[in-house]
Structure 1
Amino acid sequence: MPGFPLEHDALAAEIGELLVARSEKVAVSETTAGGLISVRMLSVPGASRWYDGGIIPYAGAHRWTQLGLDVDIARQHGAVSAPWVAATAEGLRGALGCAWALAESGIAGPQGSRRSPKPVGSVVIALAGPGGTVTEEHVFPGSRVEVMAQIAERALQLLRGALQAAGRPG
């Protein structure tokens, strides 16, 4: 990730080019990354052509009130789970009407959650798009800020890969 002040982010710029070529937009829900995914996208001049918006639902209640999610999914599976993060991405995609939505939820540290047995660095990333929703689970090493940066990097890589695989619309 570029240092501050932000400089041109090549990965985000490539994503922007792919989205513009498809005439599509992306939205982001960031819990653990705290806005770093969006910052990287917004560092690219002209991002308004392909970045639709985002939310940082740090407090759990915002996720189900803003996106209309079923709180029972979180109660049953936990906030750092594939079902919950997939529902978040799908809810965001529906709420904003965009083609793609990235969502993530995790535990950045320095200590773990009293409610979750998962280790610090645990994260689930989901991407909802025209072909459905995919999720990935990771445990990233490092400090809180290092975990946040790794989440942002992997989420952007996931989106780029999906856009490359999708090709141009037909």
Structure 2
Amino acid sequence: MSGRPEEGLYGNVESQSSNVSQGGRRRTRSDFEGDTDYSSTTRRRLEGIRRPQWTMSSTVEDILLEGSTNRANTKLNDFLRSNLGEEWVVKRNGNVTMGNFVQNPETFIKKKGLLHTIKTSPSYQVLEAINKLHHEGVYFLWQWREYEGRDTLTPLASGKLNGLLAEIQKEERREADERAKREEEN
């Protein structure tokens, strides 16, 4: 490893392209895939390919679920299977949706050990945070910025939202600085 920050993110570009069969002929590598440093513009473009472009108008639900399908409609037993394993499936109330379950889990699960295991799983904590934020009227990232109850969420959820908020604000400042610089030059 050369220690370049982009190597960890983009170092697989070369290996992916050099092994792809193109109907009996090998595709040649472009200069882009070589051992050169990428410009910051190219890096930002590539990063945008790998993850959604979040904005202040992005929903907290989409951000916390990382753009995946709505897990709130997942049945409790499907959630348990995918997050904890088959042995955790419950006989009673297993068909309740996670959206309903997260509102009052004690209604559906009586075993304290199982309930604790579910509540401490990161997947559940994300759903719980979404439920709490919606209950508090926070649906979008711009509302999160102004929300005074940030410290009431788990570190997982608040960390993800705070990190993204800081990233977007940093990008907005950078763009404003670039605009000011261009206006100054004209």
TM-score (norm: length of structure 2): 0.24
Relative contact order, higher structure (CA 8 A, sep 6+):
1
Identify, as 1 or 2, the structure richer in strand.
Answer: 1
TM-score (norm: length of structure 1): 0.26
Identify, as 1 or 2, the structure richer in helix.
Answer: 2
